[in-house]
Amino acid sequence: MANSDGESMNWLMRLKPGASTRTNLLVAALMWSSIGLFLMVRGYLLVETVPWVFLGLAFGVGTLKAFLVIERAARKNVARIMARPDGMCLGGVYSWRMWGMVACMMLGGRLLRNSSVPHLVVSVIYIAVGWALLLSSRLLWQEWNARKIGGFAKK
């Protein structure tokens, strides 16, 4: 006999990778940091050597992007995670819109890397975006760290 809708939903809920708010913050912070570091390394290795002036430009543009654009998304991400009850799915650390933006950024990066744009320019863009993500990830790390009391994690 077929399962009822309630039984199917309970089965799905058991498979859901739910976690505490603090764990959701950790996952989000790790994702922002690791993707930022990956992009920075990828950008640096894209050309034989990146002249210091272009590294400075990348870090300057990345810092501006972090403070003017990316940090707003990081704050929204923190607020979203904090508003959700414990036990929510890890995939829900980002909204559907944010996941869509991640997919578009990945596609855009791939298209950019395979375009006729000079590799040095692509390198500067990758390093700048990576630095912006890494710098902005500090907001997620700060909230994750603030959830500890006396060495124990808050609920």
Note the pLDDT tens digit of each residue in 15-66. Answer: 667 788 899 999 999 999 999 999 999 999 998 888 999 999 999 999 999 9
Pick the residue with more confidence: 154 or 123? 123
CA 131 to each of CA 3, 41, 44, 53, 137: distance values in angstroms, whole numbers, following the listed order: 50, 10, 12, 16, 10
Mean pLDDT of the chain: 87
The Cα–Cα gap between 84 and 22 comes to 11
The Cα–Cα gap between 118 and 64 comes to 23
The Cα–Cα gap between 90 and 81 comes to 10
* Residue 70 bridge partners (DSSP): none
Q: Where are the domains of the chain?
A: 17-150
End-to-end CA distance of the chain: 41
- At 98 the pLDDT is 84
- The answer to whether the CB of 47 falls within 8 A of the CB of 127 is no
**Alpha-helix residue ranges (DSSP H) falling in 16-83:** 21-45, 52-65, 71-83
